Structure formats: structure tokens, C-alpha cells
Amino acid sequence: MSLLRQASNVSHELSHSILQHQPDEVFNKCGCRNFNQEYEDEANWLGPALLISEEAALHIVKTPMTIDEAVEYYRASKEVINMRINVTGARKRISFRWRAS
């Protein structure tokens, strides 16, 4: 497993703790894996934010930093970086600031 994938996994699991998610039994009475979709959705949202903050997403966009350079600098995957740039609206926000000045 790559170090970037490990960072994503750790931030995801840390998110469960930060969000105070209570652990469920691993398996239900039928032997199927228990899976709390709400908990997973919340951790999938917070985990990437722990790796790439809103400020970091804005920084990546407003500097001449490439996505590959951002991967090296922030030690997060391209997918996480692009997701955070998109959900923060960083490109639109920086573009708007540039046009407004």
C-alpha cells in the first residue's frame, strides 16, 4: 500500500474518532458485515479535509504549483487534492478574486 493511500486511510479512521462515531459490532446475527453508511459518508468527507485544508486548496490554485507538486508538498493523493479543490470551489474563488482586482 502506498504512503499516500496510508495517509488517506489514517485520516479516514481518525475522522471516525473526531466525529465520536461509536463502533458497531463487526458482524450482524447473519454473519454479514455491519456497515453504517452515515458514519462512512461523514468520515469520507472529513478525512480529505484533514489532509488538504481549505487554505491549502486555495494555496495550490493561486500559486503556480502543479497537482503533482501539490502531491509531493502535501503528501496527499491527486484524487484527494482534486476533490478538495473542487469542494472548496478554490478555482472559482481564486478566479473571481483575480477578475475583481
- pTM for the predicted model, two decimal places: 0.83
The residue type found at 60 is I
With beta carbons less than 8 A apart as the criterion, state whether 28 and 34 touch.
yes
More confident residue, 25 or 76: 76
Q: What is the dihedral of CA 85, 89, 92, 94, to 10 degrees?
A: -70
List, for residues 46-101, the tens digit of each pLDDT value. Answer: 999 999 999 999 999 999 999 999 999 999 999 999 999 999 999 999 987 666 65
CA 84 to CA 50: how far, in whole Å?
A: 10
